[in-house]
Amino acid sequence: MAGYDVPVAPTEIRLVREEKRLEVDFPDGKSFSLPAELLRVESPSAEVQGHGPGQKTLVAGRRHVGIMGLEPVGNYAVRIKFDDLHDSGIFTWELLYDYGMRQDDMWQAYLDEMERQGLSRDP
């Protein structure tokens, strides 16, 4: 994560189930609205990211994934429980801030890789 200082913790986190989004406000005034699909396909879990460089798995078929709930992890993170039963990713405050700052680029890279591999966002 480069180029910006990350505040310690969000001032507010809102789960907007109907829109399948997680909204996160930080003390520096930045607010992010992160789609469940992006959070799911970029989950920091070993299942998605692998155990080392170059091991990331491209997750297809998650266009309609939603978030069932959030579980605090200490003072530094939240575990997101997705409705496809994935729940092993721990999203630190720094990671959520980083995803918020980079979400447009991350989303385009995801779409490009899906197309390159001939995969679909649909289940």
Ranges 3-12, 17-26, 48-57, 63-72: which has the least confidence = 3-12
52 pLDDT tier (thresholds 50, 70, 90): confident
- Alpha-carbon distance of 93 to 3, in angstroms, equals 16
Residue 1 clears pLDDT 50, i.e. is over it: no
Report the pLDDT averaged over residues 59-70: 97
- Alpha-carbon distance of 41 to 49, in angstroms, equals 9
What pLDDT digit, counting tens, does each position of 85-122 carry? 999 999 999 999 999 999 999 999 999 999 999 999 99
What pLDDT digit, counting tens, does each position of 15-28 carry? 999 999 999 999 99
> What domains are defined for the chain?
12-116 (3.30.2020.30)
Q: What's the pLDDT score for residue 7?
A: 64
Q: What's the pLDDT score for residue 4?
A: 67
> 9-16 — which CB contacts under 8 Å span 24+ positions?
9/75, 9/76, 9/93, 10/93, 10/96, 13/70, 13/78, 15/67, 15/69, 15/70
